[in-house]
Structure 1
Amino acid sequence: MKAKSISGKSPEEIQLALNTSLVDGFTPTVAFVFMSVKQDRKAVSEILARHNIDIFGATSCGEFVNGNQSSGEIAILLLDLAKDAYSILFEEIGMESMEETAKKVANSALSLFANPSLIVCSTGVTPSSELFDGIDLVHELSAALGKEKIFFGGMAGDDFNLTGTAVFTKNQETDHGLIAIVLDADRVSFNGMAITGWKRLGISRKVTQCKGKLLYTIDDKPAVDMYLNYLGKGKEGENREFDVLNELSFYYPFIVERDNGEDILIKSPMSIDYEENALVMDMEMIEGEKFWFAIPPDFDIVQEITDEASKVREELGQDADALLIFSCAGREPALGPLVTMENEGLAEIWNSPMAGFFTYGEFGRAKNCGQNFHSTACCWVALKEK
């Protein structure tokens, strides 16, 4: 399988880049398209469709290919994968439950190939501008596919607006649903990993009062006061203009241990509900749940991610044909240039064309763990046609 990555600031630039990529006889069959909501998805889809290229697309909070990281632009990974080695599925959730939607995708995948692997992208926010329930999706899809089946991916973004995201194919699009590319794992090897890197800060804490995504008290103390005071921002408690998400949460989320104790889940305060005097979380907290305040990784996170990828690469003894990266939108503001170093380092290790985007949540397996939903993770997957 041959792959090439292209990027551009407009559909016109994508047309030029695509034309250049085809000069040597390269004939891609499928494109992973990650692009800003500001860009013209229809125009880009029509450009690719004219060359009979299938599309797996998602809107982004920033996008990247080898040597270029952008915001508000378009990133594409082109593959000449055999048509009978993959299939693209599209599901609009609408009034269906997550369980029903996941079963549809799983049943289709299992009917297509005896040994399927999937790359999955969901929308990132619901039509009511709530964050999409990535935990439920991963749980239901993993249960329907079987625990041994592997999938990686992420939730679409919208340039941090949190108002509307989309996933799309060559001729379908939804603001509440998911797409999946199902690969025949007997013909395409599929290796990946999700790593967060955030570290515990201080002692463990306990959720003592919460309701849904509203967190009222931590260790029987007002959650808003404790969070702000602990991080030296207590004076902001009465400032209704204070942006909790951008000022604090990207850097200092909460670490929750998963049940197996070998992996963590990051949960983040999104805002303050001043009427309820509560933190509004991105995911529900559970009364009695133990967690830690957290601090972002330092330079060693790049080494950790590339070291783990190197071990996988060495065990396989071969480069990848293509590399996809789903990196949390919170990593870029929290880690700055380290994010670029992560992405470029992974592409260098796998010696392959790469594309990815900044997401509202990631799907994949952490080291020695099962299928999970992640937040603040760098989630990569390397593909190699056998």
Structure 2
Amino acid sequence: MRVWQSAFAPPGVELSPQSADLVLVFGSVDIFDSPGFATRLTAAYPDAIAVGCSTAGEIAGDSVLDGSCIATAIRFGKGTAVTATEAGIASADDSQRAGEALGDALTARPGLSGVLLFARGVGVNGSALIDGLSSRLPSGVPVSGGLAGDGGAFVRTLVLGPSGVSDGRAVAVGLYGDAVHLGLGSVGGWEPFGPARKVTKAVGNLLLQLDGEPALNVYKRYLGDYACDLPASGLLFPFELLNGNHDSVGLIRTILGIDETAGGLILAGTVEEGFYLRLMHASTDGLVDGAEQAGAIAAAASAGTMGNDTTDETAGDRLALLTSCVGRKLVMGDRVEEEVQAVADRMGPGTVLAGFYSYGEIGPMRDLVDCRLHNQTMTVALLTER
């Protein structure tokens, strides 16, 4: 397996064709939306499957970029195969069905070892999408990826798949064979505050009542001066999901919007009535520590699968795919690169880092293999070949 990375050249620059099996592309909405973008990618990587999404920031090496486009090319060794399939998501109500369709397509071929999933970041129920996909996959198949961003605007996000660029789609990459391996880690680093409050009314990802009171009223009361900046300030104060015993279940939910008429909060993923929610906040040091833990968990999960170190300084023999939340980026500000560097410190020589800041991360729940939609985490997928 060989991995290499480059900034995707602007229009008008002649591109030399390169041979690759898979190209992961993360960039700004403006670049994804530029005329001929997908066509130029095909010319640059004529034999490769090209997938990716728009972002709220791009990760390349140990740097965080904005307004760029980074292409990470992968050429697998013998025995590993890769496919890509896509499904339309016209609205959030289509999410479950889209996930099921992706899963059916991926399992039509035997030997599935891992899945990378990228989907629109607005107008989607990420939890339902992943539930639909997981319901069709064999037990134990790891899934990672994330929901697209648009620089924090939450208006229009884009996904790149086999049929080009779209604002209403999800794309899944299937990795096949005994040699390929995905080691996953997903950690937050946020701290809870305030009491746990019971979800007394919710419909999908619309949280309507906490302890019998309109959820928006409760949230505004706790935010104080930050309430006037909703929904943007919701990225700074997500919810931790608790079970009936008030124990954390390992999921965080970000507020993506508000419904003033219903007095509700629109969350990035679903919540169920009867569970409890507690507000969270974070410091930069706490988030960096969480990112380091995620890198360590992913590296440990891949122990024994790593190939020989490469001597080529521009390439590697394994890929660390980093998906972090835009809310973490807002909290850390100018120190945001510290969390990427913390992950890099946990990766072995020959590891190429790529990824993006998202509107939802896809990764495991604590020590379980089963994947869920996360918010406010650093999620790391370490891709290796035996």
Report the TM-score when normalising by structure 2: 0.83
CA contact (8 A) 2:26 2:71 kept: yes
Distance 2:205 2:64 in 1: 33
Within a 5 Å distance, the mapping from 1:72-151 to structure 2 comes to 72-82=67-77, 85-94=81-90, 97-126=94-123, 132-151=124-143
Describe the shift of the 1:73–1:259 C-alpha distance in structure 2 as closer, same or farther (beyond 3 A): farther
CA contact (8 A) 2:127 2:270 kept: no
**Paired residue for 2:323?**
326
CA RMSD of aligned residues (A): 3.0
Deviation at 1:252, TM superposition (A): 1.2
Identity across matched positions, percent:
23
Structure 2 stretches lacking a partner, 5+ long: 308-316
Matched, 1:336 2:329: no
**Paired residue for 1:384?**
384
Matched, 1:360 2:359: yes
Distance 1:288 1:110 in 2: 35
Distance 2:21 2:362 in 1: 25
Deviation at 1:377, TM superposition (A): 1.5
Matched, 1:164 2:156: yes
**Paired residue for 2:170?**
178
Structure 1 stretches lacking a partner, 5+ long: 127-131, 237-241
**Paired residue for 1:254?**
239
Within a 5 Å distance, the mapping from 1:277-292 to structure 2 comes to 277-283=263-269, 285-292=271-278
Within a 5 Å distance, the mapping from 1:12-23 to structure 2 comes to none
Segment drifting more, 211-220 vs 319-328: 211-220
Per-residue CA deviations over 1:324-347 (Å, capped at 9, x if unaligned) read 111112110023345322223323
**Paired residue for 1:299?**
285
Match of 1:43 among 36, 56, 69: 36
Aligned partner letter, 2:63: N
Matched, 1:227 2:219: yes
**Paired residue for 1:199?**
191
Segment drifting more, 87-96 vs 153-162: 87-96
Number of aligned residue pairs:
366
**Paired residue for 1:65?**
60
Describe the shift of the 1:262–1:219 C-alpha distance in structure 2 as closer, same or farther (beyond 3 A): closer
Report the TM-score when normalising by structure 1: 0.83
Describe the shift of the 1:170–1:283 C-alpha distance in structure 2 as closer, same or farther (beyond 3 A): closer
Per-residue CA deviations over 1:305-363 (Å, capped at 9, x if unaligned) read 32453355356154761111111121100233453222233234223111111111111
Matched, 1:347 2:344: yes
CA contact (8 A) 1:45 1:170 kept: no
Aligned partner letter, 2:364: R
Describe the shift of the 1:276–1:115 C-alpha distance in structure 2 as closer, same or farther (beyond 3 A): closer
**Paired residue for 2:314?**
none
Matched, 1:243 2:229: yes
Per-residue CA deviations over 1:278-300 (Å, capped at 9, x if unaligned) read 44444455444311111124414
**Paired residue for 1:129?**
none
**Paired residue for 2:313?**
none
Segment drifting more, 279-288 vs 30-39: 279-288
Segment drifting more, 107-116 vs 49-58: 107-116
**Paired residue for 2:249?**
263
Deviation at 1:47, TM superposition (A): 2.9
Distance 1:174 1:92 in 2: 9
Matched, 1:27 2:19: yes
Distance 1:94 1:217 in 2: 28
Describe the shift of the 1:385–1:42 C-alpha distance in structure 2 as closer, same or farther (beyond 3 A): farther
Distance 1:322 1:245 in 2: 35
Segment drifting more, 250-259 vs 180-189: 250-259
Aligned partner letter, 2:332: L
Per-residue CA deviations over 1:13-59 (Å, capped at 9, x if unaligned) read xx57x75xx8xxx7333210011111145534333312413201211
CA contact (8 A) 2:294 2:379 kept: no
Distance 2:344 2:100 in 1: 34
CA contact (8 A) 2:284 2:331 kept: no
Segment drifting more, 206-215 vs 354-363: 206-215
Distance 1:282 1:342 in 2: 22
CA contact (8 A) 1:244 1:269 kept: no
Describe the shift of the 1:209–1:110 C-alpha distance in structure 2 as closer, same or farther (beyond 3 A): closer
Deviation at 1:112, TM superposition (A): 2.2
Deviation at 1:212, TM superposition (A): 5.9
Distance 1:314 1:286 in 2: 33
Deviation at 1:276, TM superposition (A): 4.2
**Paired residue for 1:239?**
none
Q: SS state of the match for residue 87, structure 1? A: strand
